[in-house]
Amino acid sequence: MPVYYVSTRINSNVPPSSILYDLCIYRMDSKRNKYPIVDVKQQPLQDNYETQPHVTENISEPFSTIYIMEVTLYRKSMLKTVCVSPTPFTRMYTLAEFASGKAWSSVKRESPCYFESTATTKLKSEGDNTVTVNISKPERPFIAQEYPIGSPQDPFEKGIIERDIKDRFYHRSYPYQASASVCGPAAFFYCLQKDRPDVYAQIAQELWRHGKTKIGKLEITPSNGCCHPAGHFYGNISGLDWMTLAGLRDSENSVLSFNALDSPLAGITMWQTLTQWFEKAGYEKVFSNVGITQAGPQGINDLNEYVRKGYKVVSLINDSLLRGSLSERATYPTHWIVWDGAVTQDTNGHVHLDLFSWGKVEDQIKPQKDLSFFIHRFFGGVVFKPLK
């Protein structure tokens, strides 16, 4: 198995000889087990503010594998060494970016930074001792029009977002789009949350901090309208789900802007687009029988075989298939779900399927419905290998 030399850069106005760093590069699996490929402590910077080129552990993963980078900085003086970033800086890159020296950003605040004031103070007896230090602080990217910063109902308040990210990291909750028509992004982020909770959490943090993020080759860059949505959030979609779900869908819209909670047309996701999201993020598609026509019993059997082998099955249905839908007759595709098991029938011929939809993972098929009812609302699906 090969090894690689990896590095990153920092931004600072302090001489590089006065800075030390910790660098940990790792990935997690679906059970949140941590696998570091580099983990070094208090290393010296090079003269150009690059870290040392550190050799990785043996790696068998493909270049598209996403790793999390943590950097902690220390200020070194003649008398002592002090940690100047008690909270590590984190960012994610693919193995290819690390191996090719591209694991850094040209945007200063998106890379590890440490700056000191160059002003000097004077003795009090020498006169005015006031030093003015100007510290820039970019505006928070996501601000709801009805709930500005400081509002007690601000859905993007830091503490609320951090709490919700933690719940998702430990699978205590799942994406829930409420009235926003972003079931395609919800299916994508549910799979990502289950496969790589570390990547899911990093995506959310980068969107909150910078208003953009990149997962492999998938760039999420919500428009200004999406970052300043109109509408009443409470009892509706959460700030976290708006950033991720609406943010992803808005990034794909060239004509319609997803700038309000009631933007249904801007949220429709075709299977070609959904497949591209998965593949750009590093998923490998292995099968598809999705389309505008019903997939039939053979389509169910095909997807059952894949889900039993542990593959991700993302399926297109008419939402009248699910409990909670008042519709019974609609038979055109309207909704994306993710299978959490195989389609089965009980002794009475009633169909059951554990699935993800609307923030829940459970059997959501309408009770006492037969296979014919299911087939008329089933339009196949796309199958992916789990992301590692």
Tens of pLDDT, residues 347-385: 999 999 999 999 999 999 999 999 999 999 999 999 999
Contact predicate 233/147, CB 8 Å: yes
Whether the pLDDT of residue 84 is over 90: the answer is: yes
Q: What is the mean pLDDT of residues 33-48?
A: 96
% of the chain surpassing 70 pLDDT = 91
Determine the pLDDT at residue 114.
Answer: 92
Q: What is the mean pLDDT of residues 84-96?
A: 94
Residue 118's closest CA among 136, 131, 137? 131
Whether the pLDDT of residue 314 is over 50: the answer is: yes
Q: What is the pLDDT of residues 143-195, one digit of tens each?
A: 999 999 999 999 999 999 999 999 999 999 999 988 778 899 999 999 999 99
Tokens of 187: 């299916």
Whether the pLDDT of residue 242 is over 50: the answer is: yes
Domains of the chain (ranges; CATH) run: 5-107 (2.60.40), 158-269 (no CATH), 285-384 (no CATH)
Whether the pLDDT of residue 255 is over 50: the answer is: no
H-helix or E-strand spanning residue 311: none
Taking the C-alpha atoms of residue 336 and residue 183, their distance in angstroms, rounded to an integer, is 6
Residue 32's closest CA among 172, 186, 212? 172
Output phi, psi for 230, to 5 deg: -100, 155
Q: What is the pLDDT of residues 104-119, one digit of tens each?
A: 998 888 899 999 877 6
Show Cβ contacts of residue 255 under 8 Å, excluding neighbours closer than 6 positions: none
Whether the pLDDT of residue 136 is over 70: the answer is: no
Taking the C-alpha atoms of residue 298 and residue 353, their distance in angstroms, rounded to an integer, is 16
**Least reliable range by pLDDT among 141-155, 223-237, 271-285:** 223-237
% of the chain surpassing 90 pLDDT = 72
SS3 294: coil
Whether the pLDDT of residue 128 is over 70: the answer is: no
Whether the pLDDT of residue 46 is over 70: the answer is: yes
Contact predicate 338/312, CB 8 Å: yes
Determine the pLDDT at residue 233.
Answer: 76
SS3 300: helix
**Least reliable range by pLDDT among 21-30, 175-184, 200-209, 246-255:** 246-255
Determine the pLDDT at residue 262.
Answer: 57
